[in-house]
């Protein structure tokens, strides 16, 4: 047998012999140190025992990330308290004197932590806030989901059952979204969240298309052109549109003629303003002349007469264009 093989076997035998000599406690300690080394590599935040609830919340959320390192539950509390400093370290020593921390679960540790650094009154207020939580019209779905997730931690009993969690989230949605969600008969939280995201995205896409269509009314230089202001032929309203109904006189109400050609005008004693209206206003100067008949402050009656005259002038102009 080669000498190298004999040496390797001898070294392996020595290693096994040393391993057999170590106690279970020593082996357990080595294992714990290996997890501690892995934990410290992620640079966990230290906790100094602040009574600022926001900072305490941030720390406990941060430290719970150690669960993603696949650390066994029996090591999680020791690793978390390893970064305690100052008041927090003193408090934990007191807890160790009062309880068997080696038998404590992570849930029990969190309860002790919350009782110490996040007052009961604040937690009760958070529970109430969660009970009344509703999506605001100014909030996106993502913002509502984030707030729902944050506050639900204070009321775990309200979301312990999947259907209850889904219903609570659904009931808080704004009416336009909730109306569509209810019709889909979804029963799980994730399904409802995904559906709300899709509805919101569809709405945003539709809104962008509408805005794009509206921009089509702009002419060169960003100005609204005459062509875009004109209605299609046959429309019943809008500047430049053609009348589809019968001609009606604004003066006598009869059908078949307009006010400027009304045979009853002379007999009814129209005012000077309406008598001076030209029969065929063909240009803007005539319309301008009509509107400037009274330089002084006009009465309500005079204003109505002027408006009617201008409308008649537009109708007459349209008739002339139709004849051509």
HSE-CB of 277 using CA atoms within 13 angstroms: 27
What are the structural domain ranges in the chain? 3-118, 123-205, 241-323
Rounded alpha-carbon distances, angstroms, from residue 235 to 127, 132, 232, 238, 274: 59, 51, 6, 8, 29
- The answer to whether residues 83 and 45 touch, using CB atoms and an 8 Å cutoff, is yes
Long-range CB contacts (within 8 A, 24+) of 269-277: 271/302, 271/305, 273/302, 273/305, 273/306, 273/309, 274/305, 274/308, 274/309, 277/309, 277/312, 277/313
Q: Which one has a higher pLDDT value, 204 or 251? A: 204
Mean pLDDT of 256-267: 72
DSSP-H helix ranges across the chain: 3-21, 24-41, 53-63, 73-81, 86-98, 106-117, 120-131, 141-152, 162-171, 175-182, 189-214, 226-229, 265-268, 272-275, 284-291, 300-323
Block residue for tokens 């309200």:
158
Least confident of 125-129, 154-158, 239-243, 303-307: 239-243
Q: What is the mean pLDDT of the chain?
A: 76
Mean pLDDT of 277-287: 46
Residue range 45-73: mean pLDDT, rounded: 87
290-312 average pLDDT score: 55
Of 263 and 282, the one with more pLDDT:
263
Question: Would you state the structure tokens that stand for residue 313, as one six-digit string?
Answer: 């002038």
274 CA to centre of own chain:
58
Q: pLDDT-based confidence at 54, cuts 50/70/90?
A: confident
Specify the pLDDT at position 20: 59
pLDDT at 131: 97
- Which pair of tokens denotes residue 130? 């969660």
Q: Which two tokens stand for residue 141?
A: 């779905």
CA atoms within 13 Å, Cβ hemisphere of 133 = 26
The rounded distance, in Å, linking the Cα atoms of 86 and 98 is 19
* pLDDT computed for residue 226 by the predictor: 33
Q: For position 8, what pLDDT does the model report?
A: 57
Q: What is the pLDDT of residues 113-161, one digit of tens each?
A: 999 998 889 889 999 999 999 999 999 999 999 999 999 988 999 999 9
**In this structure, are residues 282 and 271 in contact, taking their beta carbons and an 8 Å threshold?**
no
Note the pLDDT of residue 277: 43
């Amino acid at each position: 047998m080669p000498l190298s093989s004999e040496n390797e076997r001898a070294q392996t035998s020595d290693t096994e012999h040393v391993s057999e000599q170590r106690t279970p406690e020593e082996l357990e300690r080595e294992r714990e140190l290996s997890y501690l080394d892995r934990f410290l590599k992620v640079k966990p935040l230290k906790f100094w025992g602040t009574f600022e609830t926001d900072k305490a919340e941030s720390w406990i959320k941060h430290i719970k990330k150690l669960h993603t390192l696949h650390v066994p539950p029996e090591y999680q509390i020791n690793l978390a308290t390893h970064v305690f400093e100052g008041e927090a370290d003193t408090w934990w020593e007191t807890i160790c004197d009062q309880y068997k921390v080696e038998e404590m679960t992570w849930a029990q540790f969190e309860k002790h932590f919350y009782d110490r650094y996040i007052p009961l009154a604040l937690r009760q207020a958070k529970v109430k806030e969660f009970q009344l939580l509703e999506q605001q019209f100014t909030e996106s779905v993502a913002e509502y989901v984030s707030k729902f997730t944050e506050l639900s931690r204070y009321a775990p009993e309200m979301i312990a059952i999947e259907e209850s969690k889904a219903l609570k989230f659904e009931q808080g949605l704004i009416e336009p979204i909730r109306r569509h969600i209810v019709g889909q008969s979804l029963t799980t939280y994730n399904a409802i969240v995904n559906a709300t995201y899709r509805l919101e995205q569809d709405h945003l896409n539709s809104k962008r298309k509408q805005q794009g269509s509206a921009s089509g009314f702009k002419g060169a230089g960003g100005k609204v052109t005459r062509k875009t202001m004109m209605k299609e032929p046959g429309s019943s309203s809008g500047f430049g549109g053609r009348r589809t109904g019968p001609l009606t006189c604004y003066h006598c109400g009869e059908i078949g003629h307009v006010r400027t050609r009304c045979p009853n005008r002379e007999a009814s004693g129209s005012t000077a303003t309406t008598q001076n209206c030209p029969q065929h206003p063909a240009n803007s100067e005539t319309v301008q002349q009509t509107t400037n008949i009274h330089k002084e402050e006009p009465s309500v009656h005079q204003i109505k007469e002027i408006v009617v005259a201008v409308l008649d002038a537009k109708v007459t102009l349209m008739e002339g264009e139709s004849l051509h």
